[in-house]
Amino acid sequence: MLAVLRCSCWILMVVHHQNLHGRLNSHANKLKEFSVTFMEAMKMMTLGLRLWSYVREEASYGRKAPIDPFTRESCRPSASQGVPLGGMGSGSISRGFRGEFKHWQILPSACEMSPVMVNQFSIFISRDGGSKKFSSVLAPGHHEGIKKLGDQGISSWDWNLSGQHSTYHALFPRAWTVYDGEPDPELKISCRQISPFIPHDYKESSLPVCVFVYTLVNTGRERAKVSLLMTWANSIGGISHETGGHINEPFLGDDGVSGVLLHHKTAKDNPPVTFAIAACETQNVNVTILPKFVLSGENSITASDMWGIMMQDGQFERQNFNGGPSMPSSPGETMCAAVSASAWVEPHGKCTVAFALAWASPKVKFQKGYTYHRRYTRFYGTSQRSAVNLVHDALMKYSWWEEEIEKWQQPILKDIKLPEWYKFTLFNELYFLVAGGTIWTDGGAQAFDEKASISKKGKKSSRNANKSVKSGSKKHNKGVPVTEPNVEDSEHRNEDDIMVTSIRSTAGHETTDSDIEGNNESVNGCPIPLNDPDNVGKFLYLEGIEYLMWCTYDVHFYASFALLDLFPKIELSIQRDFAHAVLHEDRRKVKFLADGNAGIRKVKGAVAHDLGTHDPWNEVNAYNIHDTSRWKDLNPKFVLQVYRDFAATGDVSFGREVWPSVCAAMDYMDQFDRDGDGLIENDGFPDQTYDAWTVHGISAYCGCLWIASLQAAAAMAHRLGDHAYAEKFTIKFLMAKNAFESKLWNGSYFNYDSGNSSNSKSIQADQLAGQWYVASSGLPSLFDSNKIRSTLQKIFDFNVMRVKGGRIGAVNGMHPNGKVDESCMQSREIWTGVTYALAATMILSGMEEQAFTTAEGIFTAGWSEEGYGYWFQTPEGWTIDGHYRSLVYMRPLAIWAMQWALSPPKAILDAPKVNVMERIYISPLTLRAIHENEIKKIVPRSSCFGNTVFHCEC
């Protein structure tokens, strides 16, 4: 009864707050996809041709290119999404607000968007000795493909729900559907969907399971026999059910938990998947099953037959539990299963019925052959039959999950200072940590499948990015080792021509194959045992379901606040992966599509753009539009994130472990300071996260990130006791800051860049990204408060309020005359994550009113009833007229940067209030040289590639 009351209270709270909600009969409008202008298309024609050729080449190897704008899904995206199911990293299934199960992401990088319409909950009600009967699928019947005459499949079911009086409410990781008087006017039905997403719980949050708890309230004078039915197809989305070889099997578990196992044989030698659908039998609830039915056929029970049995009896035969495994399905056959839970509900009484769904997919295999065990297998083993234990434990523990979720969410929900729209958008944007294609491994060694490594053309893919270790030719630029690419221009990548070099500055030795082969989680270069609580495994999440790259770092820069706040050990694990990559080099040839030139895949000292696509961790930088070793934002972003994480967690061992990579990343950037003023220059192409927006000379975005990273590196060096580097970075910081302000400050904001192009004086919404990070990390501001507030107010007045009255977010670029910068597709877009980051910067600068007005534009356009319908699929961005680009995108997680700004962690709040920069000793001679602008003559030449002695002062 307590659980019922708690559910009722939460439904009332969600309805009262009016966040994401809608009637089930709402029409799911098709979304309007982004398109380039004629001029943009002409500018990108050559790139488009190269990209088209690359997509075809990857397809010939049986692989999907990480960026493919030419292939369209057969199911057009619509405004129909809802809260996804399950925890993080074990595959995901989304559930639309009308009840359809869709967006299947069980296999890496694969997303089947179309719903599997067999997967439904249905209800059968009988009153007054059977004289009153009601039956319906608990989803509206206005779906394509339903109600075809003569079909023995699901069109023969009763789709009687109008949805007019039924509503859906969402507060991730839970959702509520309230059926008010449908299909029986005297029976109120509510279903709450619960997944185990619990911050700081690294076990429960990894489980591939979801619970559906139905509460039945009989308002009539007669008792009612109610049977709830869960039907499920042996499918992982798309046409996977047609491949054949699938088996269904009944099971009777402990504590009254029983149901059906659906063993799915995947195609293309992918690891198998086993689903479990189950219900919990109690004193008042009787559970029966039908292990197998098909959509049509002569020798099997059909979907129509199954419905007829439920109409007549309200349950299946008990002997079905004794049937054993079914015969494997035939190719083209859709094999399904059903679980029924029946109960009597007394007049004015209540009853609770709980179902659970789990999927056991213990192995995850990438297309170039490597296989890993998923995180949940550490607790449930690697058997396919672990799905039985998963559904059992879910049905036993879901009340505890809810208590933990409420403990986490209620302080924010009850905060009267926060706008209501913000509270619910904050939680609902976390959907991406489940539905963003996330993969979470157990941290154990990888296994290699030789068979899977052979492509369709018969060429063997590389087993590892370090089969041969050789010294690459190098040159020196201002004393900094820089790798000379020295590669041949080639139309095709030679995947057997591999040369990888590695250096570990702390040990001073070349890394061998054995150092890398296990790819385990490590601290200070030493593998962490699997049973160590600090080994949380390895975590991957996609940039987006249209951009198939793992942990895209320039975007993770924005999204990472969510992980750091809720799962900090995962965040540190990702940072270790990128720190490891900084000190490595992969000399395999890659053709960069923007200019057609060839280069090497990964340059030592350059921060990787991503952790790869088809062979993550071993083959990084799947992105090949530009040569990201020449990007100017990746290295500063790495240093800023590392310092923020170090400061927020107080993890000294993490700081010491990644410090050599920080030094290498900073030293690498020296080559881009071409006039010796301490400030890096851009190279006249889009060398940043805005990879279609050209930059000339010094830029507000990259320049601000650079001076922020100098300050962060100096502070980290000081706290770790590396005084030489602390002084070196402080000197550079002081000089770079002076150069930045003198060359870009125009009296009210910082110009886009120092060039002479038509948009050089544009107002960029993201120009204070570096200031955002230092403020978030407890470091002193980069500029005086008047300049910061003036810049933010300018952005608010122009980029926010002059576009649809501030109800759509912040446009990336705006000319000072009040016209949108249309120099490229990205300058004229509103980027959701950038808008949230801008709002966080405003909060940190004492401009909360402007901050919430700015961020509310994203809610209004993306999440509200009057918006475009992007709930649970927030895109990278949209245009002023509401055309989206790249649905289900990582960067909107940046809303958690707003919460970080509102409630900084204790370690940041309790940090010494003394300005760390002022504690770094700089000699009077050096200070005088800074004022005379001759700092380049005396900059310390210490190198991160020597041994470092740490004297931590944390």
For residues 210 and 44, which has the higher predicted lDDT (pLDDT)?
210
What is the token pair recorded at 753? Answer: 């860049």
Does 187 score more than 80 pLDDT? yes
pLDDT band at 29 (very low <50, low <70, confident <90, very high): confident
- Assess whether pLDDT exceeds 70 at residue 477: no
Token digits for 876? Answer: 């990278």
- 666 contacts 607 by C-beta, under 8 angstroms: no
Angle subtended at Cα 171 by Cα 570 and Cα 413, rounded to the nearest 5 degrees: 90
* 8 Å CB contact between 807 and 861: yes
Beta bridge partners of 4: none
Burial class from Cβ neighbours inside 10 Å (0-12, 13-18, 19+) for residue 947 reads: exposed
* Across 139-145, average pLDDT: 67
pLDDT at 845 over 80: yes
Of the two residues 644 and 140, the one the predictor is more confident about is 644
Mean pLDDT (whole number) for 149-171: 83
Q: Which alpha helices (H) appear in 552-617, and where do they start and end?
A: 553-566, 568-582
Average pLDDT over residues 317-334: 90
CA dist., res. 850 & res. 816, Å (int)? 19
Under the banding of pLDDT at 50, 70 and 90, the label for residue 33 is confident
The number of beta carbons lying within 10 Å of the beta carbon of residue 42 is: 10
| Cα separation, 244 vs 827, whole angstroms | 49
d(CA 70, CA 822): 24
Q: Is 822 exposed, middle or buried (0-12, 13-18, 19+ CB in 10 A)?
A: middle
For domain 539-935, say whether CATH 3.40.50.720 is its number: no
Q: What is the pLDDT of residues 891-905, one digit of tens each?
A: 999 999 999 999 999
> Beta-carbon neighbour count of residue 526 at 10 Å?
9
- Residue written as tokens 């023969």? 156
Helical pair 723-744 and 924-931, crossing angle rounded to 10 deg: 20
At 920, the pLDDT band (50, 70, 90 cuts) reads: low
Query: Measured on CA atoms in the order 388, 389, 391, 396, is the torsion positive or negative?
Result: positive
Measure the CA dihedral 802/803/807/809, to 10°: -110
pLDDT digits (tens, 9 = 90+) for 413-435: 999 999 999 999 999 999 999 99
Query: Per-residue pLDDT for 501 more than 60?
Result: no
Cβ atoms of residues 87 and 379 within 8 Å:
no
Q: What is the mean pLDDT of residues 713-718?
A: 95
Tokens read off for 545:
């379901």
Give the C-alpha separation, 734 to 713, whole Å: 13
Per-residue pLDDT tens for 622-646?
Answer: 999 999 999 999 999 999 999 999 9
Q: What's the pLDDT band for 3 if we cut at 50, 70, 90?
A: very low
pLDDT for position 807: 95
3-state secondary structure of 9: helix
Q: Which CATH number fits domain 80-440: 2.120.10, 2.30.30, 2.60.120, 2.70.98?
A: 2.70.98
Give the contacts of 507 (CB within 8 A, at least 6 positions apart): 525
- The pLDDT value given to residue 31: 73
Note the pLDDT of residue 300.
Answer: 85
61-65, 292-296, 332-336, 932-936: which has the minimum mean pLDDT? 932-936
Q: What percent of the chain has pLDDT over 90?
A: 66
> What does the pLDDT read at residue 76?
75
Q: What is the pLDDT of residue 28?
A: 61
Q: DSSP 3-state assignment of 940? A: coil
The DSSP secondary-structure symbol of 60 reads H
Residue labelled with tokens 């009340």 = 399
pTM above 0.75, yes or no: yes
**pLDDT at residue number 143:** 58
Verify cis geometry, omega within 30 degrees of 0, for the bond prior to 183: yes
Question: Which pLDDT score, from 0 to 100, does residue 451 have?
Answer: 58
Q: Which position has the higher pLDDT, 263 or 63?
A: 263
Among 20-24, 107-111, 180-184, 499-503, name the one with the lowest average pLDDT.
Answer: 499-503
Single out the residue of 435, 443, 426, 422 nearest to residue 562, CA to CA: 426
pLDDT in tens, 561-592: 999 999 999 999 999 999 999 999 999 999 99
Q: Of the given ranges (60-69, 249-258, 341-350, 721-730), which has the lowest mean pLDDT?
A: 60-69
Q: How far is CA 41 from CA 36, 38, 624, 648, 693, in A?
A: 6, 5, 19, 44, 14
Number of Cβ within 10 Å of residue 274's Cβ equals 23
- Of the listed ranges 40-44, 149-153, 597-601, 936-940, the one predicted with least confidence: 936-940
Sheet holding 247-252, edge to edge: 21-23, 166-171, 174-180, 187-194, 209-218, 350-360, 273-280, 257-264, 247-252
Asked if 349 and 218 count as a contact pair (C-beta separation under 8 A), the reply is: yes
pLDDT value of residue 491: 34
β-bridge partners, 476 = 481
Confidence of residue 59 (pLDDT cuts 50, 70, 90): confident
Mean pLDDT for the stretch of residues 149-164: 79
Q: Which residue has the tokens 């139905």?
A: 214
Judge whether residue 450 has pLDDT over 80.
Answer: no
Binned at pLDDT 50, 70 and 90, residue 69 comes out as confident
pLDDT digits (tens, 9 = 90+) for 851-863: 999 999 999 999 9
When pLDDT is cut at 50, 70 and 90, the band that residue 930 belongs to is: low
Position 515 scores a pLDDT of 34
Q: What residue ranges of the chain are covered by domains with CATH 2.70.98?
A: 80-440
Q: Give the pLDDT of residue 55.
A: 87
pLDDT classification of 719: cutoffs 50, 70, 90: very high
Please tell me the least confidently modeled range out of 23-27, 372-376, 773-777, 844-848. Answer: 23-27
Task: Assess contact for 550 and 890: CB atoms under 8 A.
Answer: no
For residue 868, the SS3 value is coil
Average pLDDT, the chain: 85
Mean pLDDT, residues 329-353 taken together: 93
Helix (H, G, I), strand (E, B) or coil at 814: strand
More confident of the two residues 713 and 531: 713
pLDDT of residue 467 exceeding 60? no
pLDDT category at 78 given cuts 50, 70, 90 is confident
pLDDT over 50 at 936, yes or no: no
Cα 33 off chain centre by = 21
